[in-house]
Structure 1
């Protein structure tokens, strides 16, 4: 099933009308980005600009471990997953590191920004190589596995410096419970008398932020969560 802790891919995908020149939009949820050289956005503390991260991952899909058919290993696998209607696409982090150490480093340090970019690149790759495909059928999410040993932790090793970083947890599962799904969209209503304006807010980076001002009556902090 789709992960829900980062955001809804439907709200992060954008692409040009020319399907041969598609690109993922933004940083997948308004992350901490700043202007770089030539106007390109750069995630704070990252080693490469956002536009370069997009082009690098598209190149990774197309060129890493090319086969006799001229397609990259992951490009071939992605189309096969799409044909089989599989919505989760695994990517070996060791392969990504071999292809681009900088992109791997940014994935570890800024997963909330880089993973939605990867999701959108998967979508664009499918649409580009499968003419006429239904847009909903092209939505696939990346699943990163096999991190470097330095990025693996036991529960006792977790540190405040790991917050908002991508790490792998090592341990033994002794008990499981039913998965409680995260809320995807929050429905808010203005409590100002005579207003009652409704607003919907999508999950972003694991949070649903309450609207601060009602666009109808302009009252501040007047919304309450309905469901």
Structure 2
């Protein structure tokens, strides 16, 4: 990769870190964590997926080598601390920020895997792991049903679509700033529309039925 591409990848990654960090701090606020708990949850969700990816790639996680990765969780924690009382009525904010992080991380995770010589199919899997790994850690830590395993919600599928599109664009030589923005937009829209319209995938066994439970207050309205 060229140097400018490296810089662009870092900025995309940092933007994804910020979006996920805000989702973590919002959840911490709803759970009435203290400010330190908010910072820890923001750091866990925003950095966890990248750490998982980098460990698999057998490289030192970027969060441990570049201090810039520590700024977005801190910024998100401070913003939520001061602004939460003004925005808490908007119940969709957590989903929107989470969808933004999902859209960016499935791209950056796939790109980093490809840049390390991973084959395109495996790169897609690493892109998905980057996108959903932090959210999984966040939900488990906050004692929530992980969105990844919620049968009334689509979470991994938008990430799969974004990672697959990124891999195809890379292989065909058509990946650039414009197509990256388009992929991120597709993933974001897919995730939000699926949440709003209650789309879901079939259960693991044919004939099983979903329990008629109301959506979690975290994301439903």
Higher-Rg member (1/2): 1
Higher strand share: 1
TM-score, length basis structure 1: 0.30
TM-score, length basis structure 2: 0.30
